[in-house]
């Protein structure tokens, strides 16, 4: 059984990604480590617990982590995902318990318990992972892989002209994570914008199904949907589920490049921009630059409609 840890700043699309992993029988999610990002840490934790409840499979341990980026103030996306991160549903507090151990320490302990076995999927700013890398770099190098919903390999950003949200919130954290000697896969905003667009028809299809999970997915992305309508779009990009699906079913990726990735942390005007040097003799990461959007939706819709994939 594959072993995942999911690091998440849990808002609407994080929830769908977490549900996708929790409902895939070939994967055991050992832990959810939570970080501030889309919303503050406490709300992110509550949303992670909501994801577990809605997935209705099993209960991975949930660990709270960093409540702010390494050096900067927290920049949230409440305008995109809703004040509560879940389309302003304002659900009651969950009674699922969370662990007292800090996310950073839980990551280090779990990786030592399962060396070279854990696949880490990051769906938020990299603050928890950077903290663990600073505290125990040798241990973090015993990850099997890291899949990052982060950055924008070859196109414009979604938060500034040049930066994607998860990197923009804590670029210094990504710069530390890039130093880890672990296979890294970037699934960035450019490929998501190009291939992972959920249309109004897709939403109607999910809403009219008899799956409570599909209905929840539509409801919790309502603010995201409204936000994108305001930009003139008839639907929205699903970022975190795309990265999760690439991690679970890599055959959806149709084109990837190897490169040495670096991130801008000094200049304010392009803070968080990623640079990919494809000529480098020392590539430190793989970036997905194209994927099969139809296959991606098949996997996603099967999950949300509570059908088995494969
Ligand atoms: C990323 O930013 C967040 O708003 C989403 O949850 C996703 O992780 C997309 O840029
Ligand atoms: Ca996220």
Q: Are 26 and 1 in contact (CB under 8 A)?
A: yes
pLDDT in tens, 98-132: 999 999 999 999 999 999 999 999 999 999 999 99
> Would you state the pLDDT for residue 159?
97
> Would you state the pLDDT for residue 47?
98
Which are the contacts of 282, defined by CB distance < 8 A and separation ≥ 6? 260
Average pLDDT, stretch 52-67?
A: 97
> Would you state the pLDDT for residue 193?
96
The residues placing their C-beta within 5 Å of ligand 2, an ion, are 9, 14, 123-124, 240
The angle, 0 to 180 degrees and rounded to 10, between the axes of the packed helices 12-22 and 41-55 is 40
- Take atom 4 of ligand 1 and give the residue whose Cα is closest: 38
SS3 assignment, position 266: coil
Q: How would residue 153 be classed by pLDDT, with cut points 50, 70 and 90?
A: confident
Of 114, 283, 67, nearest to 186 by C-alpha is 283
Q: Given the structure tokens 């939706």, which residue do they identify? A: 297
Q: pTM for this one?
A: 0.98
Distance separating alpha carbons of residues 11 and 125, to the nearest angstrom: 13
DSSP per-residue letters across 15-73? HHHHHHHHT-TTEEEEEEEE-SSSS-HHHHHHHHHHHHHHHTS---EEEE--SS-SSS-
Average pLDDT, stretch 190-201?
A: 96
Asked whether residue 309 carries a pLDDT value surpassing 90, the answer given is no
Which are the contacts of 208, defined by CB distance < 8 A and separation ≥ 6? none
What does the mean pLDDT of the chain come to? Answer: 97
Average pLDDT, stretch 236-247?
A: 98
Q: How far is ligand 1, taken at its centre, from the CA of residue 281, in Å?
A: 31
Asked whether residue 310 carries a pLDDT value surpassing 80, the answer given is no
Q: How far is ligand 1, taken at its centre, from the CA of residue 198, in Å?
A: 15
Q: How far is ligand 2, taken at its centre, from the CA of residue 17, in Å?
A: 9
Asked whether residue 173 carries a pLDDT value surpassing 90, the answer given is yes
For the chain, give every domain's residue range. 2-304
SS3 assignment, position 228: helix
Helix (H) or strand (E) holding 256: strand 253-263
pLDDT in tens, 205-219: 999 999 999 999 999
* Ligand 1 neighbour 189 (Cβ under 6 A): yes
Of 37, 30, 31, nearest to 240 by C-alpha is 37
DSSP letter (8 states) at residue 179: T
pLDDT in tens, 15-35: 999 999 999 999 999 999 999
pLDDT in tens, 221-234: 999 999 999 999 99
Average pLDDT, stretch 178-188?
A: 98
Which are the contacts of 288, defined by CB distance < 8 A and separation ≥ 6? 153, 185, 186, 187, 188, 191, 246, 253, 255, 256
Average pLDDT, stretch 65-73?
A: 98
Q: Which CATH superfamily is domain 2-304 in?
A: Ribonucleoside hydrolase-like (3.90.245.10)
Q: How would residue 67 be classed by pLDDT, with cut points 50, 70 and 90?
A: very high
- Take atom 2 of ligand 1 and give the residue whose Cα is closest: 165
Average pLDDT, stretch 267-296?
A: 97
Per-residue CA distances from 55 to 6, 49, 58, 301 (Å): 15, 10, 8, 14
Residue in 15, 82, 85, 123 to alter for ligand 1 test, most ligand atoms within 8 A of Cβ? 123
Phi-psi label, residue 184: left if phi above 0, alpha if psi -120 to 50, beta otherwise: beta
């Amino acid at each position: 059984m594959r072993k995942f840890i999911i690091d998440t700043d849990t808002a609407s699309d994080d929830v769908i990604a977490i549900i996708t992993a929790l409902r895939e029988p070939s994967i055991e999610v050992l832990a959810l480590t939570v970080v501030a990002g889309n919303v503050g840490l406490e709300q992110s934790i509550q949303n992670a617990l909501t994801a577990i409840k809605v997935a209705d499979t099993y209960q991975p341990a949930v660990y709270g982590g960093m409540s702010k980026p390494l050096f900067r103030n927290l920049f949230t996306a409440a305008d995109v995902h809703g004040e509560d991160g879940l389309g302003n549903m304002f659900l009651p507090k969950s009674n699922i318990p969370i662990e007292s151990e800090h996310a950073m320490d839980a990551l280090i302990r779990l990786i030592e318990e399962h060396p070279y076995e854990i696949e880490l999927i990051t769906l938020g700013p990299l603050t928890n992972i950077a903290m663990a890398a600073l505290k125990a770099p040798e241990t973090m190098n015993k990850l099997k892989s890291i899949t990052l919903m982060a950055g924008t390999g070859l196109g414009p950003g979604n938060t500034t002209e040049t930066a994607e949200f998860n990197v923009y919130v804590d670029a210094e954290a990504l710069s530390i994570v890039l130093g880890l000697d672990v296979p890294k896969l970037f699934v960035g905003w450019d490929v998501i914008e190009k291939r992972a667009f959920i249309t109004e028809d897709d939403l109607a299809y999910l809403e009219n199904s008899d799956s409570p999970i599909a209905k929840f997915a539509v409801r919790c992305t309502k603010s995201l949907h409204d936000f994108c309508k305001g930009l003139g779009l008839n639907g929205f990009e699903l970022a975190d589920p795309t990265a999760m699906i690439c991690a679970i079913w890599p055959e959806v990726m149709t084109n990837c490049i190897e490169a040495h990735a670096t991130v801008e942390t000094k200049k304010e005007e392009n803070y968080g921009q990623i640079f990919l040097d494809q000529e480098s003799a020392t590539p430190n990461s793989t970036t997905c630059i194209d994927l099969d959007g139809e296959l991606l939706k098949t996997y996603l819709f099967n999950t949300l409609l509570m059908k088995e994939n494969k």
